[in-house]
Every structure is written in C-alpha cells, then in structure tokens.
Amino acid sequence: MLRPEPGNAATTARIVALGCQALSLPLFAVRPLAWTPPNPAAHDALLLTSANTLRHGGAALTTLRALPVLAVGQATAAAARAAGFRVLLTGDTGVAPLLQHAATHQIARVLHLGGRERTRTDSALLTATIAVYASETLPILPTQRAQLEGSVALLHSARAARRLAELITDRARLRIAALSPAVRDAAGSGWDAAIVARAPDDAALIAAAITLAD
C-alpha cells in the first residue's frame, strides 16, 4: 500500500480480510496547514476532493457548514456527512464532471478546500481554492524499493503514480493497479502490467489488483 495514513491501514486491512498479503509502504505523510476560512456568504457550495480535508481542516471547518458539499467520491461524501455537512452532489468520474453537474443546481461560486499538492482544475465556478493540508514526500530506502519487486502496486492518486515512477528503475518487475485512467497514465509505461479499477473506489481498486496478482 502506497497511500498515506490512515488510508494505508484501511486498504491493508481490506486486503488481509480477503486472505491476501499486503505490503505497507506509504509514499507520503499528511499534515494540517494553518488556514483562515473565508466568508461563507461569498460562496454557494464547498468542493471537497479528499476526506483529508475533513481529517485535517480543524475547527475552522465548522464556520462553513452552511454550505452544501460537492464531494468527489463516496468516501469523501461519507466523511463530510460525519463532520456535519450536507452533501448536495457526489461525483464518481472526477472534478470536472462534478462541477458541470453543480452548474445545473444553480451553483455559481464554489470554494475548494483541499491539499497543497493538487491537480489544477480550470472552471469558472471555482471562486477560491484554499489548502488546508499538505502531503509530504517520505524518503524510501533502496531496500524498501526492492520489496516491491514482483508485487502489484495500488495507485490511488496521480501524484503517487508519478512518485512510484520516479522510484522504480526496472518497471518490468512490477505491476500496477490504478484508481482511474488518469492515475494509470501518470505512472507512465513499461510496467509488467497495468489495470484500471472498474470504479474509482478502494474496493474496486483492490479487486483489480487481485486480478493482477492471480
């Protein structure tokens, strides 16, 4: 598992529960950032692209609970509801389609709370973007890289895909399972095999990885 905690432990537990072996090797560690919440009246909705925003946003998030949430996936939507937010829309194919759908709900001013390291999204609906957490790169030793040989790497993000591509010199000895086509493309070519999950969620990604392992 290459994703940061606590997602790493959750994915590992799901794999072990299925009777498979799991190697935990987080590539990043997430930490909160200091931030100042804007006036909620200046926005129509809150875009959340990761549950990490809810985990690390802190008490300042409570000032924005009046805004309906546009969640990029089911896990983020569940975290938003648990934090007391009302989820208006939940996407399953990325940010751009989610924002297009939001426009049909008379949403014109969207505030995005997310990570410092993020994929840029061009949309007239995005009126402000604030980083509330950072995903710091962790050092990976040569001995740790060697442990990946012959395994299937689960890639939950494009950033993780790019980081893995930097670390691995002999890609023919490693297979990858990606959460989406964009994540797979970010990893580049030359892998022993590459597969995309049928749906952009952890369970589907694990299922895809198991097919490669078999």
Q: Please tell me the predicted confidence (pLDDT) of residue 131.
A: 96
The tokens describing 97, both together, are 């389609």
CATH code 3.40.50.10090 region(s) in the chain: 7-27+140-213, 30-136
Q: Which of 171, 69, 166, 158 is nearest to 118 (CA)?
A: 158
The sign of the CA dihedral 136, 79, 22, 196 is negative
Please tell me the pTM assigned to this model.
0.83
Under 8 Å between Cβ of 22 and 2: no
Instruction: Please name the CATH architecture into which domain 30-136 falls.
Output: 3-Layer(aba) Sandwich (3.40)
- Could you report the average pLDDT of every consecutive run of 10 residues in the chain (214 residues)? 90 93 94 96 96 95 97 92 96 86 93 88 89 95 92 94 95 95 94 93 93 86
47 alpha carbon, distance to own chain's centre: 14
Q: Please tell me the predicted confidence (pLDDT) of residue 99.
A: 93
Q: Which residues contact 76 (CB under 8 A, 6 or more apart)?
A: 48, 49, 50, 51, 53, 54, 90
Q: Please tell me the predicted confidence (pLDDT) of residue 121.
A: 77
Q: Please tell me the predicted confidence (pLDDT) of residue 51.
A: 92
Q: Please tell me the predicted confidence (pLDDT) of residue 101.
A: 92
Q: Please tell me the predicted confidence (pLDDT) of residue 190.
A: 97
* Secondary-structure class of domain 7-27+140-213 per CATH: alpha beta
